[in-house]
Amino acid sequence: MSFTGTSSDDFLSGLNPEQRAAAEHGGQGVPGPLLVIAGAGSGKTTTLAHRVAHLLRQGADPQRVLLLTFSRRAAHQMNQRVGAVLQRWLGASGAQAPELPWAGTFHSVGARLLRRYAERIGLSEAFSVHDRGDAEDLMGMVRQQLGLAASTERFPLKSTCLSIYSRVVNGQDELAAILQGAYPWCSAWEAELRRLFAAYVAAKQEQQVLDYDDLLLYWAAMLDEPGIAAELGAAFDHVLVDEYQDTNRLQARILRGLKPDGRGVTVVGDDAQSIYGFRAATVRNILDFPDQFDPPARVVTLDRNYRSTQPILAASNAVIAQAAERYAKALWTDRVSSQKPELVAVSDESGQARWVADQVLAQREAGVRLISQAVLFRSASHSAQLELELVRRNIPFVKFGGLKFLEASHIKDVLSLLRWAENPGNRLAGFRAAQLVAGIGPTRSARLLDAVQAVAVPAEAIGAFDPGSGARDEWAAFAALMRGLMAQVAWPGDLEQAVNWYDAQLERLHDDAAVRRKDLEQLVRVAASYGTRERFLTELALDPPDATSAEAGPPLLDEDYLILSTIHSAKGQEWHSVYLLSAVDGCLPSDMATGTAEEIEEERRLLYVAMTRAKTRLQLVVPQRFYVRQQGAGGDRHVYGARTRFIEDAMLPLFERLPKAPPLPPLPEPRLGAKQPAVDLAARIRATWM
């Protein structure tokens, strides 16, 4: 499809000069590398969308544009925005705006490319993608097999093992260095960990499963093959990467492998908003980008903020100005306002919940819809009290981040049926699926998997398997289901088949079957928006919906609801009013992240990201007392909160302090004087009902 045209409308005219320079960079032909450093709210997304539209208008083929975003939601939004820009430009001619088929996250694009090249790189085309939970389970299995779990209690947990493995892979670093820097208490286990990781890799390869990290690792390794690298590089004329500050070294290596000379590459990001260090993202990627190339990449800086009022921006700038690293820009805006951001002191977390609920309702009365208001927090658990308060007051809300939907065991059960059908070599899935049948335990299940592995047609081995006399009837039904699922595929019909079969097991497997049934219905609804079973399983593992209703049908989305979100999930978004919960030391910075100076710096950037989401109104709530969950001997306890260290005393003039009135003085002690006659309160209360 071609979008070149002669419309005289200047569709870039809404952009400021820097945005426009970025959108038009390179003129005709394939341009040199471009780095757009875009401050918070400076129109990064807008600019990227216009750049893509501009390229298409210059004759770029949408099939040959690779757009890498941070989440599936961001890819979807980008597609829509590019479409809207083009529509505006195409105007009355009414041509259909294009889909960008290669817009997605690094991981999901990686998965697609690996399937395409599977045969040439020795992978099965039907490889499964393990989500974090599956990867941990497999790590746990291997750890068990090697006897490491039993050998001592102090050997790291499976989740820690996976985190270490992942840091090594993504950071492209040495195991010893990672252990020393981030997991010093595991250093003594270096040799065992190395053995564990080798066995983990072997198990994955044998079963044809890839975990998150593999998708990048295999992609990068594929690009080390000059023939494939040349083919892939030539398949895309333009490669655009959003949120470049949160990419890791492996992702940077992939980008270099695709486009060694940087021609056709645009990366966009904000060094001050880098918040994914715990996933081995490195802010160096963005800082070092220009000088990778000869001549160096062009750098365009966007420092005009269109989102926030001047007082909100002044406070945000003050917070980031204290960062140890210097950033390339200080943002400015012409949105004047006399309303400063507010620091609100409340007694404790329930006071905080009541305060925020009151404010949200008052704002709604004043005409600000719920959906234009958001409550942000550092960690998903910080909103628990508020959620109760909102339910109590009938205020609808949707929570983003920290959702455990896919981790629920009934969801994993159903997905294991599909995963096993998709890749019968996936032992983890098969092991789980077979044990859903009444009377089948781990030993029989393992025997079944061996039988399946030994034959060419897995469904036959399942049909012929002897489940023991007690389980014959159930087994026949299960075998029929698996035969159907393995024979392939009427999507999403086969999910419905799996759910129907599972429904009959639900009461036996779980107490609260009714609630779980609702989740399964939700899963079927979610499934309908994916084209194939493979895409559904892969995408769901890679980028699970961060709120169930994010994927719900249109009717739900029409309703007005308040947004609750972790700061991480609020990335890239904006609201009229933003409330930040628990702006206290221990929550922000999180007491889980105060180990190193870098971690503290990342927490500061998190506060900055939270504050810069607000357009007009910003409240940071500071409970004087809050509750902490503690591991170890002390148990849970209350602590007295201090305002977050990132808002220093010198910055206080940039904030309004609430409540304005001093707290009421305590009641004076009653004077002990002449004895008053007793009051029979109980009788009065009884009298109300007489």
537 within 8 A of 422, measured Cβ to Cβ: yes
Nearest-angstrom CA–CA distance, 535 and 112:
9
| Residues constituting the chain | 690
Nearest-angstrom CA–CA distance, 119 and 228:
12
Least CB distance from residue 568 to ligand ATP, whole Å?
A: 13
Nearest-angstrom CA–CA distance, 478 and 475:
5
Provide the H-helix boundaries in 381-471: 384-392, 409-422, 427-434, 442-454, 458-464
Residue number, 306 or 561, with CB nearest to ligand ATP: 306
Residue number, 329 or 382, with CB nearest to ligand ATP: 329
Residue number, 273 or 548, with CB nearest to ligand ATP: 273
27 annotated as ligand-binding: no
Least CB distance from residue 313 to ligand ATP, whole Å?
A: 11
Least CB distance from residue 300 to ligand ATP, whole Å?
A: 13
531 annotated as ligand-binding: no
CB atoms within 10 A of CB 303: 15
Nearest-angstrom CA–CA distance, 5 and 570:
37
Q: Please give the DSSP secondary-structure letter assigned to residue 376.
A: E
45 annotated as ligand-binding: yes
Residue number, 16 or 144, with CB nearest to ligand ATP: 16
Least CB distance from residue 306 to ligand ATP, whole Å?
A: 3
78 within 8 A of 45, measured Cβ to Cβ: yes
Relative to beta strand 265-269, strand 298-302 is unpaired
Interaction site with ligand ATP (CB under 6 A): 14-16, 19, 38, 40-46, 270, 306-307, 572, 574, 612
Nearest-angstrom CA–CA distance, 654 and 647:
10
Helix axes 190-207, 132-145, angle to 10 degrees: 120
594 within 8 A of 393, measured Cβ to Cβ: no
Least CB distance from residue 268 to ligand ATP, whole Å?
A: 8
Residue number, 505 or 577, with CB nearest to ligand ATP: 577
399 annotated as ligand-binding: no
Q: Which residues pair with 375 in a beta bridge?
A: 564, 579
Nearest-angstrom CA–CA distance, 465 and 687:
75
Say which residue the tokens 């389980």 belong to.
471
Nearest-angstrom CA–CA distance, 519 and 217:
34
Nearest-angstrom CA–CA distance, 218 and 232:
14
Least CB distance from residue 293 to ligand ATP, whole Å?
A: 24
Q: Which residues pair with 239 in a beta bridge?
A: 66, 265
44 annotated as ligand-binding: yes
158 annotated as ligand-binding: no
Nearest-angstrom CA–CA distance, 542 and 644:
34
Of 317, 247, 261, the closest CA to residue 293 belongs to 261
Cis peptide before 670 (omega within 30 of 0): no
Residue number, 282 or 372, with CB nearest to ligand ATP: 372
Residue number, 332 or 405, with CB nearest to ligand ATP: 332
Least CB distance from residue 73 to ligand ATP, whole Å?
A: 13
Of 284, 201, 255, 272, the closest CA to residue 42 belongs to 272
Residue number, 315 or 386, with CB nearest to ligand ATP: 315
Nearest-angstrom CA–CA distance, 623 and 643:
8
Least CB distance from residue 41 to ligand ATP, whole Å?
A: 4
Least CB distance from residue 24 to ligand ATP, whole Å?
A: 14
Say which residue the tokens 């007005």 belong to.
560
Q: Which residues pair with 590 in a beta bridge?
A: 586, 587
Residue number, 18 or 131, with CB nearest to ligand ATP: 18
Least CB distance from residue 528 to ligand ATP, whole Å?
A: 29
Residue number, 81 or 112, with CB nearest to ligand ATP: 81
Report the binding-site residues.
38-45
Report the binding-site residues for ATP.
38-45
